[in-house]
Every structure is written in C-alpha cells, then in structure tokens.
Structure 1
Amino acid sequence: MISTNQRSAIAALDAVRPVVARLDLAGHPDDVAADVIESWSAVETALRSLLGGSALAGQALVSEVRQRGLLDYAHAHALLGFLAARDRVSRTDYRPTDSDVDAARSGFQAIEAALGVGIGADTATYPTVRVSGGGVGTPPPPPSTTPPRAAPGAPAAPGVATPGTTARPDVYEPTAGRGRGPGLIIGVVLLLLVAAAAYWAWANSGDPAAFKDGVVQFTQGNRVAARRSFEQAAADRPKMALPHVYLARMARQDGDLPRAFNEAKTAVQLEPQNTLALREMGQYLLQAQHPEQAVKWFERALRIDGTDRVANGWMGCALQRQGNAELAARFFQRAGQGDWTACQQTAPPPGAYPPGTLPPGAVTPGALPPAPVPRP
C-alpha cells in the first residue's frame, strides 16, 4: 500500500513529466535552462513530501532523505548531479550542454526508482529501495545465512553446530584491547554530527548583527557605514540575499549601475523566490531604460506577493513607460502614493525609451522559471 507521503511525491513528479520529456538541446538555451530548473523544483517538492514536509533545499534536502533511508547511494549521487546541473544552468552566462540534460534526466529517473514508478523503476542503474510507509520499492530479501549441509562424515565448519546435536555455534569474542575502537569512532562521529547541526542552526537563525546594523545605518542616512555593514553581512552569510539587495539599491541610487546589476543578480541567484530581490532587479532594469524587461521581473515578484505596494507601483511605472497607460493606471491604483507617483504625472513620448541591449550577463526571465503575463 502506498503511503500519503508517497502519493504526494509521485503527484509532484507527474506534474513535471512533460517538462522532463521535452528536455532537448534543440530548443533555445533559455528554455532548456528553465526546464531544468522547473524539473529540479518538482524533485525537491517530491523529496519534501517523502519527509512529510521540510524547509530544507538542495544538498541538505537530499542528505536528509538519504539519512532517513529513503534513498540509496546511487539515487542520492544522481540527484546531486541533477542539482549541480540546475546550479550551472541558473548562471546567466552559461549555455546548457548535453551533460546537463543527461544529469537532469538521470536524477529524475533516480527518484522515480526510489518510488518504484516510471521508467526509473526498471533501470538497473538505480536499484529500488524501500520508502517510508508501504511496500513500494521493497528490495529483495537478503540471501539465506543457513550453512550448506556437510557431507556425511565430513567435519563441521567452525562455528556451525553439527546436525542432530545440541551443541551451540561458537560465540565470537573480540580480541582483548580492540573492543574500544568501534565505540570510540562512533562517539567521535556523533560529536561531529552534533557540532555540525549546532553550526547549521546558528548559521540559519535570524539575521546577522551586521545586517541589522546596516538597516539602521541605511535608515539614518549613514550610507558609508551601512555599505560596510551589508558587505560584512554578505561575508558572514554567503547564502543570504538581503545584504545584496541593499547593496544593489545603494549602488543604483548612487548611479553605479554595473555594481547594482551584479548585486541584484547575486541576490536573485541566491534566493529566486525572494520578492525583494526580484523587485530590485526590476527597479534596476527600469533605471537602466529597459521597462519591457522590468515588467517581467515586477510580475514575478507580484506572483509571490500580490499585495506588495512597491512592486505594484513600479510595475505601473514600467507599463507607463511602455505606453500602456490604461493598464498602468490599475497598478497605480493598487499601489497608492509612493516614489513611483512621479511616473504617473506624464506619459513618455513614443520612442522615448527604445528597447536596448541588456548589460553583459544580464539576467533574463529564461534563467529562472518563466513569469506569466500580468493580469491585474
């Protein structure tokens, strides 16, 4: 019988099977990258379902599922290869290769094999293992440990009772002086695991002090000190997007557009679902005279949080610059008054903001899951 967790995991995979099936380098590189990213997102959803829910992601998520015995080594190895491919194609200056597509397909087949479904279940490369709950993916029983019957008159093997007698097999007794070795090793490993868990909890608990100081300094107008604090926070928490969001905003306000772009791109790559990072990328593109690209990034932010007044306001500004005053007015109405109100005063003349070339390495919507057309 399949457990609820298994059903949820299988449903997550079923939803993305058409995407995996169309993975092919014959398509546009941005489309291939988007398909790889979307496929990995579904795999992460399936892995979290097997755990019954989890906030983990990436390598930490695969490791946790592996530690619980829901994946074997081959499955975990293939999934980590899939994750590495996802990380590569997320880079805007990277072009997907055959190896990336193969890694994505192999990783998808690996989790199928773990669940006992799909083509992966029949692939010898990924042996089936037991997952929590039902009997799906149950491995074959271990070989029998019953010793072969000895020939008549032949001496019994050491440690094996002779048939027809009541003698017990000999009991193994470790050599004196060697009994502490395994216990000591296990103890050291446990201590290392506890230390690693404590460090992980500390590294992910709340915002670092440098970041909090930077926010206060930024609010007070002390931009030099704020920049130092945000740079320190980015060094303390290299996987945290918010320090880069603030650094991008300050660089944009100072007119340093190359640094603003680099910081915004880093923030989006670290946390693709962070609305502040998506919004900052949109504001950068708007200031760089690319309103058509800015619209797509504001729309991505609004898909996550449609009540974000700032994203609504600057979305209206970007649409206004494109000449779509009617649609822009709806977003202005949602946003109310703010810094974006100046855009509402006058519409630009036709051709005032012609489409231009994005800066080298610019983040395009194809580098992340595509955003839908805005519908207020």
Structure 2
Amino acid sequence: MTPHSARAALDAARGVFAASDRYTAPELWHSAQGVLQGVIGRPELTGQALVTEVRQLGLINLADAHALVALAAWADRSTGLAENEAERILVREAWMALEHAIPEAPIAGFASAPAGTPPTSAPHQTWAPGGAAYGHASAQTGAPAAPPPFIGDAGDADRSVKPRRRWLWPAVGAVVLLAALGGAGTWWFTTGQPERELAEAISAYQRGSREVARTAFARLAMEHPDDARPLIYIGRITREDGDLARARTFLTNAVRLAPESAVAARELASIMLADGQPEIARRFYVRALQLDPGDRIAQGFLGCALVRLGRFDEALRWIQRAGPGEWQQCLASMPAPLGMPTPYPMSPPR
C-alpha cells in the first residue's frame, strides 16, 4: 500500500472512530485491523499477530501496540458500544496508535470527538483531589525539574490503599487484556494471590526487568480496577519512559481511586514538576505530606517546587528538613547566600 492509499484507509477509519458512540467494539477493531493490514500488505494477519508485525516493523511504539491489542481484546469479549470512560479512553488511544502507524499521517485526531470524551494528553491538566481545578500554571522558564525518585519496595506500594470505586479503570497495555478476566469482580484482599503477584511485580521492577514488571502491573490493574497500587507503578514506569501525558493519566486515576494514598499524591506531584507546573506540584506534595508527614522524598521535592516558584526561604527549610538526597541539587538554583554551600554534600546527577 502506498502512503497515499494508507492515509486514505486511515481517513476512512477516522469516520468510524469519530462516531465510536454508534459503532460496536468489533466494528471499531475491524476498521483498525483493515488499516494495519493495508499498511504492511498482510491481509492474512489478524489480532495480536498483526499488531506484533506492525510493531516489529517499527511503525508503532510499544505503547501503541498495547493500545491496539487492548482494542482487539475488547472486541473479542464485547459486542457492544463503549459504555464507560475507560472504554472511551481505550478507543482514543487505539486511534492515536493508528495515526502513528501511517507515515506522515496528519495529526488531526478525531473528526469530531465522541461526547464526553476528554483529551488524554492535555499539556496542562489541572485536576485536583475532590474535583477542584487549580487553573493553568504560569509558564516556567528553564528545563523541567528532574522527576523525583520512587521508592520501589513493597512498603512504598502504600498498603494503606483500600479498594475504592470499581467502575474507574484506565485503558492500560496489551497484555493486561490478554490475561483472562475471570474473578475481576473479586475484592483484592479476599485472597493472598494478588498480593504475591504485586510483590513479584515490584521485585521485577527493582531488578530492572521493566517490561516484565509493566506486564504484571497492567494485568493487576485490569483484574483489580479498584486498587490504585498497580497504577502507581505503571505511572512511574511510563514517566521514566518520558511519556508524561500518559503517566499523568495513570496517576490521576490512582489519586482518584485512593485520595488517602500519600504515594499516589507524591507521584502525581512529580509528573507536574517534570512537566513544568511547579504550583500544581507543590499542592500535591503538600497533600502527600498531610497524609504522610515523614515522607522525605515529598519534603525534598516540595523544596524543589518552591525553588521554581521563587519561594527560596521556604524551599531551604524543606530541603534541609529532608536531609541528603537528589532534591539538594535544587539548591544550586537558589541565590546566594541561600543556595550553596549546603549543609549536606550534593548528590551527583544521575
């Protein structure tokens, strides 16, 4: 298929995806599958094998592949329309993946977005716990602050998080939907198996087996949509990949599910700080410290957010309270005599 005809196929699919409130899951996947088959000239390939081939040819990235397999899996188990926010997000992410698969495809998005479907990559999303909006942050100068670290042990998964609203689950990766969904209505704490699986996923993350961990966390997020802990780790991994918009989606959902989780609030704050929104980051760091006053990471990077806001006296107090850590590098941005020297040795950049 030539680039021109491939774009024509994408344009035809655009009409279907734009009206996803009228087309069923199988119809949406049939349309997407036709585009992918045409792009690589392999009409005999279907389902996951088709997505894998497109991925291996380098036409889409791993996140795109996840989104497309998620669409195919949804079509396998449902013959209906997108009925909830998670399914609408799934449709939008699959559409973005199709756009990426077409060389030089115009980034036009849907011809008309389905009603009630929010953008998944707004650069200044300002949702706050409780539904309040903070408003747009003022533009910041300079490079975004380095994302804060994440303590990757089982304790930091925040076991205080309790199951919340079962209807809210994000559209997450490919293998999440390849796993059998039996028992999805079971509460997280009725069996020890999910806890063991979570611990194994955390262990894989600590070992550096990121894709193994991502797969495990994604499956857990799908099977236990009322638990925020897998989403926190998926958001962390996605942030490390540099995809701040998608990481923000995962972590926003985690905070909604578990507004009492200090770790979820702190991780969402780190996204905002990395995205050049220090005021919103400050508020989420404060929220994290209200929930866990002893969180040194939140203390230190609250100081960094305050540095970026020009509130240097407050920043110095928080950074000193946190003690040694990567956040001390923010002192270099402070005016003398508040900045250097510091009572603690500066940690080398990673």
Q: What TM bracket, shorter-length normalisation? A: 0.3 to 0.5
TM-score (norm 1): 0.40
TM-score (norm 2): 0.42
Q: Which has the higher contact order (CA 8 A, sep 6+)?
A: 2
Q: Max radius of gyration: which structure?
A: 1
